[in-house]
Amino acid sequence: MSAIKGFAARLRALLSPRTTERSLNEEIEFHIEQETEKNLRLGMSHAEARRRALVEFGGLSQTREAHHDVYAARPLEELVADTRYTLRTMRRTPVLAGAAILTLALGIGANTAIFSAVNAVVLQPLPFPNPKQLYMVWEENPEKGWYKQVAAPANMLDWKEQVAAFADVMAYSEGFGTATLTENGEPTIVRPAFGTGNFFSVLGARAALGRTFVDAETWKTGHRIAVLSHHLWRDRFGGDRNIIGRTIQLDGAPIQVVGVMPASFDYPNEKVDLWEPWAWDPSNRQQVSFRRAHWLSVVARVTPGISQDAANAQLQAVVKRLQRDYPGTNRVMGAGITPLHEFLVGDTRLPLLVLLGAVALLLLIACANVGNLMLVKAADREREAALRLALGAGRRRLVRQALTESLVMSLVGGLAGIALGMWGTRALQAMQPAGMLRVSHFNFDWVVFGYVLAITTVSGLLFGIAPALWSSRRAPQDALKEGGRGGSQSRRMRRWGERLVIGEVALALMLSVGAALLVRSLLRLQQVDPGFDPNGAIAARLELPGTRYDTGDKANNFFSRLEEQLRSIPGVQSVGSTSDVPLTGGGYSSDFVVAGWPEGTYGSEVLHRRVTPEFFKAIRTPVLAGRAFTVDDRAKSASVVIINEALAKKHFKGQDPIGQRISFDKVPDSSSTWSTIVGIVKDQHQSKLGIEPQIEVFEPLTQSPTGGMSVIVRTAGDPASLGPAIRRTVAAMDRSLALSSVETLNQIRAESLARERFLTTLLLLFAGVGLALAVVGVYGVMAQMARRRVREMGIRLALGAQANDVRWLVVRNGLRLVTIGLAIGTAGAFAATRTMQALLFGIAPKDPLTFVVVPALLVLTALVATWMPASYASRADPATALRAE
């Protein structure tokens, strides 16, 4: 209680110093009057009485001062004073302050932007109730090299029923192509996601309007239902609240809207326009394909209180049982669980952490630069500090003042940094390649604010500590003496400067090496031959609704007529179609057996693609042996396939594959189809340039019909200009069709590198800024050193040294520091870039070229940075230099 009263008294005094002073004055006045009255009663004259009273009281101003010392909350008051003082100096030296603040703002701004992404993607929990109970359940198959893969429906249903630790298990699939919504005018392409009936309830998501699915709707109910995403409901249906219960036309079939999700719900990704339950036929469960085909993403909600290990142990027991009960499909099929959040963050974590590391280095460089500025300032104020020390100021007081200065500086820089960071955050969201960050919107929230505050404070301390310690450790008499000679250097001051140069060079080297590695890796990627000619061709994606194109013939006819009509467009050289465009991910894969192989042997994971006869010509993939498909490869003619080079090399060592027969069953029987290999084509990179081509077979569309195809149109002119003509052609053939994408092959190729380019661009940007800051920093320190040696240089010149010798003296000193910095930086870069291994293609993290060229470039830049101060020093006029006292 008494402590509180005491504190209240201090606070009052701090907040209203005038009231306190007035009160004290009144009290003293009262005292003196009383004393005067007493003296009057003792018989003194009025003047004498008052004089004696004043003498008796002692020094009035001393009392006031003493009173003030006791009263004012001293540290607080000093803080206010120091802050005011700092702001005043900043106003007096706007260029210096501006440079420091801008430097800090760059460092802090970059950190803010990157951290806000890390926060949203990695740190923030999933937006579902009790998100820690959610796990991704995946399958693995060592024989096929599967790890963390999608699961088979029958296995998923068994887990749901038999693993007691799973409160519930749902499954969904996002890769189900597109559908055409013919409602309210123009046909639009929408992206549906399919899930089990408990898709929403396992996540704990509720509908904003209407309802979500019920578990029973996993199975066929007789009529189709859908839940709309908020954006589809808003954009396509004008936010009509009466939509619930209405029937809309999807791919020409009626489907009833039962609910609308809130805007915040975007699982599994923000592109999903509507969700549909699968409505499986219950008889599917007995069919072997339900256990053989793997295509489900499975999410389990674990019973509260059950650990990951316990849940996994129970799952393994069920997995073992399934392996025993279904050897045909499950003999080597394993399964496991990963926390859902961790699974979804997946491979975005590493790039984000690399970026976070890069901006941390950038901030350190910025701190070193500002530290140097502060040091220079402290040196200029050397005399002031010395004088204050001599007059009795405590060293601690001086340190505190210096630290306050740097903290105020960093806070102002931090504010500017936040502004820059907010802009950067928006730029980052706009620039990020689609789907790279799982979260498409991230905001500046309290976590980010806390982080910014922390790094701001830490950087303030970092760059403030050197000048603070430096100024306080000085012996006043030395400083005053040196100060008397017009501010010369102390050895300690120079050591700090040298350390800064070394540090900055080391940091800049680490940053630049990281960026250079990524650049080299990207260049390598761009040189990879995709297996086709991306120039001069455009791809248009089309999904024929199965409701109207319900037979293979109808689909085949449509595509052959479409190709025919497109060929008649002027300038078009060739037209061919494929079920999957290279570099966008492959189609489905299967096992296979070649006729004549010993019984029981089979190959795995061969990709399948359907193509039309002119596809290889249109995309310019050379046929290496045999022939391409022709119009004579009809539905009813002999079954034929074309294989890629990888398959020929891997499984037909030394034999000619042409004419051999292949089947896509693991254990062929009398019902199996055998296809004859008629050609070998050059490998296309199916999923990414950085991933080796997989073994693949091509089937003629006629013999394996599908409604989802991409038409490749090659032209002599600009392929992009063909887009409208293709749209018109499709619309003329079927009004209700819409193209789900129209992109040139070059665009597709660029998109497949978008992530790498994004990461490289950002790192290059940070490295560039870091390098520029470091060069400025090195220049600053060297210039300062040169300036301080002008007198020395003057003497040297007067004694007969040549300008060149003097220049060399300064440059040599600079190079010595740069070399030490490079050595440290190289060691650091070796250690740091190891973590980047997974992000690099075709080069090692210890890439020799990078580790030679980047340091060489740095030496060159550092030479420039030291040359200017050196030539300044060499121009010192001996007479003026010696007189400059």
Partner 1 sequence: MQPPSSDVLRGTLDLLILKTLTLEPMHGWGIGQRIQQLSRGVLDANQGSLYPAFQRLEQKGWIESEWRTTENNRRAKYYRLTTAGRRAVGAEAASWRRYVEAVELILQTT
- Distance of closest approach, residue 101 Cβ to partner 1, in angstroms: 39
Instruction: Rule CB under 8 A: say whether 31 interacts with partner 1.
Output: yes
Q: Establish if 35 lies at the interface with partner 1 (CB under 8 A).
A: yes
Of 30-38, 276-284, 767-775, 819-827, the segment contacting partner 1 by CB under 8 A is 30-38
CB 172 within 8 A of CB 300: no
Spatial contact of 434 and 125, defined as CB atoms under 8 Å apart: no
* Range list of H helices, 381-394: 382-390
- Given candidates 23, 184, 443, 551, which one binds partner 1 under the rule CB under 8 A? 23
Closer residue to partner 1, CB minimum distance, 54 or 102: 54
The smaller minimum CB distance to partner 1, of residues 56 and 143, is found at 56
- Size, binding site for partner 1 by CB under 8 A: 31
**Where in 441-460 is the site for partner 1 (CB under 8 A)?**
none
Return the range that interacts with partner 1 (CB under 8 A); candidates 18-26, 350-358, 450-458, 766-774.
18-26
Q: How far is the CB of 59 from partner 1 (least distance, A)?
A: 6
Answer for which of 9, 387, 776, 857 binds partner 1 (CB under 8 A) is 9
Closer of 127 and 476 to partner 1 (Cβ):
476
Cβ closest to partner 1, residue 56 vs residue 564:
56
Half-sphere exposure at residue 629, Cβ-oriented, CA atoms within 13 angstroms: 31
Based on CB atoms, which residue is closest to partner 1, 56 or 529?
56
Helix (H, G, I), strand (E, B) or coil at 432: coil
Which of the 8 DSSP states describes residue 121?
I
392 makes contact with partner 1 (CB under 8 A): no
44 scored as a contact of partner 1 (CB under 8 A): no
Judged by CB, which is closer to partner 1: 6, or 94? 6
Question: For residues 239 and 188, is the Cβ–Cβ distance under 8 A?
Answer: no
In the numeric block, which tokens belong to residue 44?
A: 């003194």
CB of 116 to partner 1, least distance (A): 46
Q: CA-to-CA distance for 709 and 307, rounded, in angstroms?
A: 46
Minimum CB distance to partner 1, residue 476 (Å): 18
CB of residue 479 to partner 1, shortest distance in Å: 23
Per CB under 8 A, which region of 1-9, 509-517, 542-550, 766-774 contacts partner 1? 1-9
Closer residue to partner 1, CB minimum distance, 1 or 430: 1
Nearest CA among 201, 693, 493, 252 for reference residue 227: 201
| Measured distance CA(803)–CA(806) in Å, rounded | 5
Closest to partner 1 by CB, 1 or 95:
1
Distances (CA, A) of 393 to 211, 386, 387: 73, 9, 9
Which residue lies nearer to partner 1 by CB, 398 or 583?
Answer: 398
To partner 1, the closest distance from the beta carbon of 395 in angstroms equals 14
Choice from 34, 551, 655, 880 touching partner 1 (CB under 8 A): 34
Is residue 395 at the binding interface for partner 1, with CB under 8 A as the rule? no
Asked if residue 588 binds partner 1 (CB under 8 A), the reply is no
| Cα 289 to chain centroid, rounded | 39
Q: Which amino acid is at 742?
A: V
Q: How many CB atoms lie within 10 A of CB 790?
A: 18
Task: Examine residue 268 and say whether the peptide bond preceding it is cis (omega within 30 degrees of 0).
Answer: yes
Tokens of 418: 């936040």
Strands (E), 229-333: 247-250, 253-260, 274-277, 297-302
Cα dihedral 256, 262, 264, 265, rounded to 10, equals -30
Residue with tokens 């674990």: 302
CB 583 within 8 A of CB 531: no
Torsion, CA 729, CA 734, CA 737, CA 740, rounded to 10: -30
Contact between residue 544 and residue 558 where contact means Cβ atoms under 8 Å apart: yes
Distance (Å, rounded) from C-alpha 711 to C-alpha 614? 10
Of 130-159, which residues contact partner 1 (CB under 8 A)? none
Can you tell me which of 16, 26, 246, 717 binds partner 1, judged by CB under 8 A?
A: 26
Output 345-352 pairs: Cβ under 8 A, ≥24 positions apart: 345/121, 345/122, 345/438, 347/838, 348/121, 348/122, 348/436, 348/437, 348/438, 349/121, 349/122, 350/835, 350/836, 350/838, 350/839, 351/755, 351/759, 351/839, 352/114, 352/117, 352/118, 352/121, 352/122
* Nearer to partner 1 among residue 9 and residue 750 (C-beta): 9
The rounded distance, in Å, linking the Cα atoms of 258 and 233 is 12
Q: Say if CB 659 and CB 557 are below 8 A apart.
A: no
Residues 258-277 touching partner 1, rule: CB under 8 A, are none
- The residue (of 26 and 718) whose beta carbon lies closer to partner 1 is 26
Is residue 708 within 8 A of residue 549, CB to CB? The reply is: no
Lay out the site mask for partner 1 across 855-884 (x = CB under 8 A, - = otherwise). Answer: ------------------------------
What whole-number distance in Å separates Cα of residue 739 and Cα of residue 188? 9
Distance of CA 834 to the CA centre of its chain: 19
Name the residue nearer to partner 1 (CB basis): 5 or 91.
5
Report the residue number, 224 or 388, with the smaller CB distance to partner 1. Answer: 388
Q: Does 478 bind partner 1 (CB under 8 A)?
A: no
Among 16, 33, 288, 320, binds partner 1 (CB under 8 A): 33
Residues in 764-783 at the binding interface with partner 1, rule: CB under 8 A: none
Tell me if 41 contacts partner 1 by CB under 8 A: no
> Given the complex with partner 1, which of 30 and 147 has the nearer CB atom?
30
Which residue's CB is nearer to partner 1, number 11 or number 164?
11
Query: Closest CB to partner 1 among 30 and 423?
Result: 30
Name the residue nearer to partner 1 (CB basis): 68 or 231: 68
Alpha-carbon span 519 to 763, nearest angstrom: 9
- Among the listed ranges 29-37, 496-504, 618-626, 866-874, the one in contact with partner 1 (CB under 8 A) is 29-37
Shortest distance, position 63 Cβ to partner 1, whole Å? 4
Which range of residues in 6-14, 705-713, 803-811, 852-860 is near partner 1 by CB under 8 A? 6-14
Residue type, 618: A
Site string for partner 1, 300-339 (x = CB under 8 A): ----------------------------------------
Residues 81-110 that bind partner 1 (CB under 8 A): none
Judged by CB under 8 A, which stretch of 21-29, 367-375, 411-419, 598-606 contacts partner 1?
Answer: 21-29
38 vs 285 by CB, closer to partner 1: 38
- What residue ranges in 296-372 does DSSP mark as E strands? 297-302, 334-339
10 forms part of the interface with partner 1 (CB under 8 A):
yes
Residues 47-86 that bind partner 1 (CB under 8 A): 56-60, 62-63, 66-67, 69-71
Could you give the C-alpha distances from 477 to 466, 494, 872, in angstroms and in order?
21, 19, 31
Closest Cα to residue 788, out of 502, 494, 568, 393? 494
Q: How many CA atoms lie within 13 A of 635 on its CB side?
A: 11
Q: Is 30 in the site for partner 1 (CB under 8 A)?
A: yes
Minimum separation from the CB atom of position 23 to partner 1 (A): 7
Helix (H) or strand (E) holding 797: helix 790-798
Stretch near partner 1 under the rule CB under 8 A, chosen from 33-41, 500-508, 712-720, 765-773:
33-41
Residues binding partner 1 (CB under 8 A): 1-6, 9-10, 23-24, 26-28, 30-31, 33-35, 38, 56-60, 62-63, 66-67, 69-71
